[in-house]
């Protein structure tokens, strides 16, 4: 019997990063991860067929939306097939034996830094440095033996690189989660979907956006996210990204038929099953 080939999943960051944890959690099977130090590289990996799927963070409950990733969704036209809400616990990692008073630099991914802003602002005489990835920061501390540098990362990174957790749970709010999207180039079966991500444009006229959104309300469609993105080269014009949920598919289909007549460039980025938010 032939051995099943592992799925290849593009992630932003390296092993033990939150993206890898999200990928392992979502697929719940052995996978091969393709490490990408930027979201653009992640998209290129999926586009070029190096990966079967990609897992991309899109928003955090403390730091907010990752706006550049909305531009990438528009540029690459991938299909969203799923989402995952991952609880995020941030820890301050150092070489064993290092004390907080010895730390002069703390580094991590910009989104991680934003999630720990309250803790970091209280520190005195410490430089905050941005890096490409939380796990990569932990790896740097270990491999370069940085005795005065701490990394913000998760417990998986601490274990992998033999670092001590100097301070636990330094995120500003303890009910912290990041929403990840699962992307593919291929179409998929939408039978079990109850959520969709859409983008569209509206005329620069009074009430044009409100009219489109009222169509969803009138069809009992729940609007869970709205995000405006500037249209490059068109000052004062925006692409509207929304997430909607429904209980009956017909309600969604009826709303979409009506919205088609109200907006321009309607794009269904994906129809998928709503993810669960479970705090830990």
Please indicate whether the domains covering 7-87+176-184 and 91-167 agree at the CATH topology level.
yes
Q: What is the DSSP string of 178-210?
A: EEEEEEESS----TT--EEEEEEE--SSTTHHH
The Cα 139–Cα 216 span in angstroms is: 47
Convert the pLDDT of each residue in 50-76 to its tens digit. 999 999 999 999 999 999 999 999 999
CATH number of 195-272: 3.30.70.260
Is 39 known to be catalytic?
no
Confidence check: pLDDT of 33 > 90: yes
What residue spans define the domains of the chain?
Answer: 7-87+176-184, 91-167, 195-272
Assigned architecture for domain 7-87+176-184: 3-Layer(aba) Sandwich (3.40)
Are 35 and 23 in contact, with CB atoms under 8 Å apart? no
132-147, pLDDT tens digit by residue?
Answer: 999 999 999 999 999 9
78 is catalytic: no
Is the Cβ–Cβ distance between 187 and 79 less than 8 Å?
Answer: yes
Choose, from 180, 200, 215, 216, the residue flagged as catalytic.
Answer: 180
- Alpha-carbon span 166 to 153, nearest angstrom: 11
| Residue of higher predicted confidence among 2 and 31 | 31
Q: Per-residue confidence at 184, pLDDT binned at 50, 70, 90?
A: very high
5-22 tens-digit pLDDT: 899 999 999 999 999 999
φ, ψ of residue 68 in degrees (nearest 5): -55, -25
Q: Which of 33, 149, 178, 215 is catalytic?
A: 178
Q: What CATH number has the domain spanning 91-167? A: 3.40.190.10
Residue 232's pLDDT band (boundaries 50, 70, 90)? confident
């Amino acid at each position: 019997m032939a051995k099943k080939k592992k799925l290849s999943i593009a992630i932003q960051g390296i092993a033990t990063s939150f993206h890898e944890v999200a990928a392992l959690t979502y697929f719940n099977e052995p996978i091969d991860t393709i490490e990408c130090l930027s979201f653009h590289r992640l998209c290129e990996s999926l586009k070029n067929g190096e990966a079967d799927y990609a897992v991309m963070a899109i928003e955090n409950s403390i730091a907010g939306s990752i706006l550049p990733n909305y531009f990438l969704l528009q540029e690459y036209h991938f299909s969203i097939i799923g989402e995952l809400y991952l609880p995020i616990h941030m820890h301050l990692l150092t070489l064993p034996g290092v004390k907080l008073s010895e730390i002069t630099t703390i580094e991590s991914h910009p989104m991680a830094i934003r999630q720990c802003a309250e803790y970091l602002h209280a520190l005195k005489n410490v430089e905050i440095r941005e890096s490409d990835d939380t796990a990569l920061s932990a790896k740097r501390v270990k491999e370069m033996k940085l005795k005065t540098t701490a990394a913000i990362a998760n417990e998986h990174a601490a274990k992998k690189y033999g670092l001590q957790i100097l301070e636990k749970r330094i995120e500003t709010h303890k009910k912290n989660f990041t929403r990840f999207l699962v992307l593919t180039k291929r179409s998929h079966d939408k039978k079990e979907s109850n959520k969709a991500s859409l983008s569209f444009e509206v005329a620069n006229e009074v009430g044009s956006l409100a009219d489109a959104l009222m169509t969803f309300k009138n069809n009992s469609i729940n609007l869970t996210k709205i995000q405006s993105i500037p249209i490059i080269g068109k000052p004062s014009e925006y692409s509207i990204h929304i997430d909607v949920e429904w209980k009956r598919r017909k309600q969604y289909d009826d709303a979409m038929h009506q919205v088609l007549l109200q907006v321009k460039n309607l794009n269904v980025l994906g129809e998928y099953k709503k993810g669960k938010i479970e705090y830990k």
